[in-house]
Amino acid sequence: MRLDGRCHCGYLSFEAESDPQNVSICHCTDCQTGTGSVFRISVRTPGKSFKMLSGEPTRYVKTTAETGNPRVQTFCPKCGTPIYSTSPGDNPDSYMVRVGTLNQRDQLTAKQQNWFRSARPLGYGTRLDSARREGPCMSPIENMHWIGRRAGCDS
- What are the residue ranges spanned by the domains of the chain? 2-148
pLDDT confidence tier of residue 84, bands split at 50, 70 and 90: very high
Who's near 106: CB < 8 A, 6+ residues apart? Answer: none
2-148: which CATH topology? Answer: 2.170.150
Residue 3 confidence (pLDDT) above 80: yes
Amino acid at residue number 24: S
Q: Tell me which of 5 and 114 has the higher pLDDT.
A: 5
Question: Does residue 68 contact residue 40 with C-beta atoms inside 8 Å?
Answer: no
Amino acid at residue number 60: Y
Q: Which pLDDT score, from 0 to 100, does residue 66 have? A: 63
The reported pTM is: 0.75
Q: Which pLDDT score, from 0 to 100, does residue 141 have? A: 44
Closest of 24, 12, 11, 9 to residue 50, by C-alpha: 12
Per-residue model confidence as pLDDT tens digits over 17-63:
999 889 988 888 777 777 887 788 889 999 999 999 999 999 999 87
Q: Which is it for strands 94-98 and 13-17: parallel, antiparallel or unpaired?
A: unpaired
Q: Which pLDDT score, from 0 to 100, does residue 60 have? A: 92
- Based on the number of CB atoms within 10 Å of its own CB, is 145 exposed (0-12), middle (13-18) or buried (19 or more)? exposed
C-alpha pair distances (Å), 16 with each of 4, 96, 108, 153: 6, 11, 14, 33
Closest of 116, 108, 120 to residue 136, by C-alpha: 116
Q: Which pLDDT score, from 0 to 100, does residue 122 have? A: 63
Mean pLDDT of the chain, nearest integer = 79
